[in-house]
């Protein structure tokens, strides 16, 4: 294997972030058209060599966020990874799998990433392990026909953050009260910790709103420049907001949080009425598996 020339691999990413398909110590061109066949062949070669198919993924945050690398290298999922993860208690199976397949940087904790980064990594891991095709069913809003929508996961748009991107950002002045809220994006780890603590508190107190309150208390770090507020004071302040401001604030936060990474909105023409349908890619959790048909001969 040594001595063979190295070639840069450009999958069919006309838009978004080019990723490199690399095999340890060796690389080869993959044509987009028969990529599935080639991936299968490559998987067989790799299986025979007992080394995993790997890919270096450029993160949408491009190294601009402190302590988050610009690139992360992952390897294709193997049966042993699923066995390990399914036999331990984890709060999120896909994140636990992602931690297992991390190659570089070594010992990096996946939970330090922002959710739009892990989502993008999971989608690349899906392509790396099971290929780039996925078909899902979607109902046309005009004629109710159920369409089979075919996705090429390699040509979805991925939005990188701008140079000015910050995980701490101001929202406001809010339209009615003029309040300025300093907010932060939560990492996977922060979210997971809140979910865990909220569950314990909910079980103990019966308060159903506790998780929602804790999430917003963590997301808001200062109100009108006052950063010394106790969590309960933040909840009290948000509860007292006029609902116009409250809705405006939450909408802004969710838009900012969902603005980057994999763009999941898509359009297609309905098979039946030919209408242009605007739709949304299903969650990665619904298609993290291979697509194939097995026919058992009679």
- DSSP-derived pairing of the beta strands 181-184 and 133-139: unpaired
State the nearest-atom distance from the C-beta of 235 to Zn ion, in Å.
45
CB 31 within 8 A of CB 12: no
Residue with smaller CB distance to Zn ion, 145 or 177: 145
How far the first Cα of the chain sits from its last, in Å, is 43
Q: Where are the beta strands (DSSP E) in 125-262?
A: 133-139, 146-152, 158-159, 168-171, 181-184, 220-223, 261-262
* Binding map of Zn ion across residues 223-262, x = CB under 5 A, - = no contact: ----------------------------------------
Q: Where are the beta strands (DSSP E) in 90-216?
A: 102-104, 133-139, 146-152, 158-159, 168-171, 181-184
Residue with smaller CB distance to Zn ion, 212 or 273: 273
Q: What residues between 115 and 154 interact with Zn ion by CB under 5 A? A: 140, 142-143, 145
Comparing C-alpha atoms, which of 178, 182, 174, 173 is closest to residue 227? 182
- The sign of the CA dihedral 90, 95, 96, 97 is positive
State the nearest-atom distance from the C-beta of 272 to Zn ion, in Å.
5
Distance CA 287, CA 282 (A): 8
Residue with smaller CB distance to Zn ion, 162 or 275: 275
Residue with smaller CB distance to Zn ion, 207 or 269: 269
Q: Does residue number 155 form part of the binding site for Zn ion (CB under 5 A)?
A: no
* Binding map of Zn ion across residues 261-280, x = CB under 5 A, - = no contact: ---------x-xx-x-----
Strand-pairing partners, residue 57, are 72
Q: Specify the residue for token string 């907001």.
A: 241
State the nearest-atom distance from the C-beta of 278 to Zn ion, in Å.
12
State the nearest-atom distance from the C-beta of 277 to Zn ion, in Å.
7
Q: What residues between 59 and 98 interact with Zn ion by CB under 5 A? A: none
CA angle 78–124–53, rounded 5-degree value: 40
Comparing C-alpha atoms, which of 173, 197, 147 is closest to residue 248? 173
* Binding map of Zn ion across residues 188-227, x = CB under 5 A, - = no contact: ----------------------------------------
State the nearest-atom distance from the C-beta of 141 to Zn ion, in Å.
8
Distance CA 260, CA 241 (A): 28
**Whole-Å CA distances, 176 to 215, 232, 244:** 23, 23, 7
State the nearest-atom distance from the C-beta of 135 to Zn ion, in Å.
17
Residue with smaller CB distance to Zn ion, 113 or 277: 277
Residue with smaller CB distance to Zn ion, 233 or 271: 271
- The sign of the CA dihedral 115, 169, 219, 171 is negative
Residue with smaller CB distance to Zn ion, 150 or 272: 272
State the nearest-atom distance from the C-beta of 67 to Zn ion, in Å.
48
Residue with smaller CB distance to Zn ion, 169 or 268: 268
State the nearest-atom distance from the C-beta of 266 to Zn ion, in Å.
15
Total binding residues for Zn ion by CB under 5 A? 8
Question: Footprint of Zn ion on this chain (CB under 5 A)?
Answer: 140, 142-143, 145, 270, 272-273, 275
């Amino acid at each position: 294997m040594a001595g063979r020339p190295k070639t840069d691999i450009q999958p069919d990413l006309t838009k978004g972030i080019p990723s490199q398909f690399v095999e340890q110590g060796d690389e080869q061109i993959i044509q987009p058209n028969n990529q599935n066949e080639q991936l299968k062949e490559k998987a067989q070669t790799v299986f025979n060599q007992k080394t995993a198919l790997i890919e270096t993924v450029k993160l949408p945050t491009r190294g601009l966020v402190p302590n988050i690398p610009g690139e992360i290298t992952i390897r294709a999922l193997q049966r042993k990874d699923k066995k390990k993860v399914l036999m331990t208690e984890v709060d999120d199976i896909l994140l636990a799998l992602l931690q297992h397949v991390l190659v570089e940087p070594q010992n990096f904790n996946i939970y330090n990433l922002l959710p739009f980064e892990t989502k993008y990594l999971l989608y690349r891991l899906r392509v790396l392990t099971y290929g780039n095709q996925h078909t899902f069913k979607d109902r046309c809003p005009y004629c109710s026909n159920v369409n089979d929508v075919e996705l090429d996961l390699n040509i979805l748009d991925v939005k990188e953050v701008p140079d000015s991107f910050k995980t701490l950002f101001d929202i406001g002045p809010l339209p009615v009260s003029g309040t300025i809220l300093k907010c932060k994006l939560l990492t996977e780890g922060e979210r997971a910790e809140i979910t865990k603590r909220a569950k314990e508190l909910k079980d103990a107190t019966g308060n159903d709103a506790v998780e929602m309150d804790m999430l917003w208390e963590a997301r808001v770090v200062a109100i009108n420049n006052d950063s010394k507020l106790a969590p309960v004071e933040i909840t009290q302040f948000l509860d007292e907001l006029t609902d116009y401001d409250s809705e405006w604030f939450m909408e802004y936060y969710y838009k900012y949080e969902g603005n980057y990474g994999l763009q999941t909105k898509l359009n297609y023409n309905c098979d039946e009425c030919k209408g242009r349908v605007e739709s949304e890619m299903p969650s990665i959790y619904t298609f993290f598996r291979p697509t194939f048909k097995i026919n058992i001969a009679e």
